[in-house]
Copies of this chain bind each other. A is one copy, B any other.
Amino acid sequence: MMDICLLGTGGMMPLPYRSLTSLLVRCKGKGYLIDCGEATQISIRRRGWSFHDIDTILITHFHADHISGLPGLLLAMGNAERQEPVLIVGPKGIQHVVHSLLVIAPRLPFPLEVHELDGNEDFTVADMEISAFRLNHSMICYGYSLRLPRAGQFDPEAAKTLGLPVQYWHVLQKGETVTWEDNTYTPDQVMGPPRKGLKVTYATDTRPVDVIAEQAKDADLLICEGMYGEPDGPEKAKDKKHMTMQEAAGLAKKADVPELWLTHFSPSMVNPLEFEEEIKKIFPRTVIPKDRRTVELKFED
């Protein structure tokens, strides 16, 4: 199970009625935050999810609307009595950026581990398989996919045939090896092939690039910027290295993803819903969300 909250849908600057784009994912007691612009901590508080359990913070790039809330968030996490390490991941240079921002939060009650990306990279945090993939923006920027894998189905008949006592079955179910009475038993002897997991793909700020559709191909949800919707949107998007709603819908169609949530709306776009009809003609499963839209992704069957 994966709880997903799009904490904000805005781009460039926080507005009284629209928080900056940021995603909070909860899974098996761990929290994964993507981006942390100014006032992200307020949106987390509004949602009511824990500050304490944010273990991993993934930063797409160093424009202020994606990272300026970091010192305040880390202080809030310290106030929530977090003591365990926090992992921060981002583009090359993030060590310097984090170090600089912490001039106003020099003493945190937990250690920070900072990981600098240097190109596309897959890594695992707790149960989560994370892919960072390069986007195309006015500065180095990454999208992220978060994937919770699901083991195959346990076959009790196979376990019985092996003669392994019941009290060892859960070890194999967790994917570990069992040694009993001088015999070694491995998970593949009792587990079916891995089943479909859960996956969310997040891409902002960027021009529409193929990697987004590729990443979203087996995702349950694509969260993608759609900064402009109006007729001169394509020109502005090209100029500022952003994406229109129409372009995002095109990527979602290519990926044939179950659902697309648009985000990172320009402050000049007062009501993104006015483009809903047009965008749904390109990709019917598009959602134009409000801040803090939340979904619980569940395993099939």
Which residues of chain A have a CB within 8 Å of any CB of chain B?
Answer: 12-16, 38-39, 41-42, 45-46, 62-65, 67-69, 71-72, 75-76, 79, 96-97, 100-101, 103-105
Instruction: Report yes or no: B41 in contact with A13, Cβ–Cβ below 8 A.
Output: yes
CA distance A103 to B100 in the complex (A): 7
Q: How far is the CB of A72 from chain B (nearest CB, A)?
A: 4
Instruction: Report yes or no: A64 in contact with B68, Cβ–Cβ below 8 A.
Output: no
Cross-interface CB contact of A41 among B38, B67, B75, cutoff 8 Å = B38
Q: Given A38-B69, A76-B13, answer yes or no on A64-B105 (Cβ-Cβ < 8 Å).
A: yes
Cross-interface CB contact of A15 among B14, B42, B69, cutoff 8 Å = B42
Instruction: Report yes or no: B14 in contact with A64, Cβ–Cβ below 8 A.
Output: no
Cross-interface CB contact of A72 among B68, B75, B103, cutoff 8 Å = B68
Q: How far is the CB of A63 from chain B (nearest CB, A)?
A: 7
Instruction: Report yes or no: B72 in contact with A16, Cβ–Cβ below 8 A.
Output: no
CA distance A39 to B40 in the complex (A): 9
Instruction: Report yes or no: A46 in contact with B13, Cβ–Cβ below 8 A.
Output: no
On chain B, the residues within 8 Å of A97 by CB distance are: 103-104
Cross-interface CB contact of A75 among B13, B16, B69, B104, cutoff 8 Å = B13
CA distance A8 to B168 in the complex (A): 59
Instruction: Report yes or no: A42 in contact with B62, Cβ–Cβ below 8 A.
Output: no
